[in-house]
Structure 1
Amino acid sequence: MHPVLEVKGLTGGYSQRRPVLHELSFTVNAGHIVGLIGLNGAGKSTAIKHILGLMHPHRGEIRVLGHTLAENPEQYRGSLAFVPETPLLFDELTVEEHLRLTGMAYDVPEESYTRRSGQLMDEFYMTGKRKAFAAHLSKGMRQKVMIMNALLARPALYVIDEPFLGLDPLGIRSLLDKLAEVREEGSAVFMSSHILSTVETYCDRFIVLHQGSILVQGTLEDVCAKAGVRTGSGSLEEAFYRLTANGGPHGPVG
């Protein structure tokens, strides 16, 4: 087991005077799914933007497979794939053309591309939409295309932001099955989601983010112990509520 994503002392945000994130430190190891959970405005999306290199830290560093973005931009970006909350596609390209573009960007061998793309089309029930333009797809189908592109690339790190929004039940099941599969293959998954029941079932570790700081991180048992909750079905939701209600463990926000 080795760290794929390493975040050390990350402080950052949109303004140097008022940082959103405060001294975040955590790792995501190979073969692990780590769930990032927090209230709206906790800093989850800001943390993800820093990991993707869309924002620069005020302090601290982020490494993917041992590389920072500044040291080796090509290696850093080529080691991760991102699935955003809102699908971002080219309206003039078909589903198949999006996959082909991703295959070229990540240097996926032709034989692997043909096999993977066909499997993903079948698993996400998109074979009949292979030639459809993105502009003609529903939001859920557009989200499936984003997910399929990430899975096609087979990166060391998947960064996924609220992946279940807009997906139908079959799409959710297909995604969860694939995440379990890539975890077994040794990839790392860093996933933000508000659906705590699903996160509890599929994630190996959790990071509870509140007001830009980490309240607790670790296994379900670690989170429950911090919140004073017994471990069991639905315990993550109860622990999260206790940790974040009324402004967190330090009381209401003034």
Structure 2
Amino acid sequence: MITSDLERHKIPLAQSVLELKGITGGYSLRRPVLHNISLSVYAGELVGLIGLNGAGKSTAIKHILGLMVPHQGEIRVAGVRLEDNRDLYRSSTAYVPEQPTLFPNLTVREHLQWTAIAYAIEREKFEHKVAELAQIFRMTEVLNALPSTLSKGMKQKVMLMNALLVSPPLLIIDEPFLGLDPLAIRGLLAALDEVRAQGSAILLSSHILPSLERKADRLVVLHRGQMIAQGTPAEVIALAGCSPAEATLDDAFEALVLNAEGGASRE
């Protein structure tokens, strides 16, 4: 079982770890990308963020990470705003980007050691979790390998292992299934279940809807920077006018987007 490193961030289950209230933002004040977005992610919960390319998912993540400043609204992580306590805000979050970025001269193990130092993870706990994560992702034999010898899927696994090593209050993952083989996907989902059981909240952006349909507690659907649906997978399917017993999340997503575009064309 993956042990948690939440001792410094005691967040009870059912308490909001991530809170967005009325977020409007983007790269230009004249043409915001996000329009009045409000959402919460609770301890132990996995929320799926879905939408077409350009829907605003990456922009929303950048605002949460503090890489962009909202034009309007408020963002809190672990109960604090970035401007109130930058250290607590940033140490409460781990982020796995879609494109893996590794140091060329560090081995897989050295990447994990670097993360352990940054988050003050004890040596014994580090060794235990590294062995565990390496087994889950079938990376034991390449712990001493350099990134240049790894496939893209393996590089993605390194990024995921670093995030899961920390087990922060909030874990943000962007398209984690791309480049992973079926066994790695199964291992990742099992690892995320373990992390959630320890109290971490997960915001996961993905186009692979079947996995989210099975695993997400709730979904947030963005289209052209606006939230067009949110709720459990069954609720989102029903909101799309589909039958939860017969339709898939893919069916519901298509219907929601077509309805949103049709409504926009009539205005």
**TM-score, length of structure 2 as denominator length:** 0.92
Question: What is the SS of the residue equivalent to 1:111?
Answer: helix
Partner of 1:195: 208
Is the aligned partner of 1:115 residue 2:120? no
Q: Which runs of structure 2 are paired with 1:179-190 in the superposition (5 Å)?
A: 179-190=192-203
Partner of 2:140: 127
Aligned with 1:151 (options 159, 164, 182): 164
Counterpart-to-counterpart distance in 2, 1:234 and 1:126: 37
Counterpart-to-counterpart distance in 1, 2:191 and 2:250: 24
8 Å CA contact 2:233–2:249 kept in 1: the answer is yes
Report the number of matched residues: 254
Per-residue CA distance 1:169-204 (angstroms, 9 max, x = gap): 111111111011111111110000001111100000
Aligned with 1:19 (options 32, 36, 39): 32
Aligned with 1:56 (options 53, 57, 69): 69
Per-residue CA distance 1:70-115 (angstroms, 9 max, x = gap): 1111101111111110001101100000000000111111111110
**How far is the alpha carbon of 1:246 from its aligned partner?**
6.2
Q: Which amino acid aligns with 1:22?
A: H
**How far is the alpha carbon of 1:236 from its aligned partner?**
1.4
What stretches of structure 2 of length at least 5 have no aligned partner?
A: 1-13
Q: Which amino acid aligns with 1:141?
A: M
Question: What is the SS of the residue equivalent to 1:248?
Answer: helix
Counterpart-to-counterpart distance in 2, 1:156 and 1:116: 17
CA RMSD in angstroms comes to: 1.4
What stretches of structure 1 of length at least 5 have no aligned partner?
A: none
Q: Which runs of structure 2 are paired with 1:27-42 in the superposition (5 Å)?
A: 27-42=40-55
Q: Which amino acid aligns with 2:157?
A: K
8 Å CA contact 1:37–1:192 kept in 2: the answer is yes
Identity rate, percent: 55
**TM-score, length of structure 1 as denominator length:** 0.96
Name the CA shift for 1:9/1:95 in 2 (closer, same or farther; >3 Å).
same
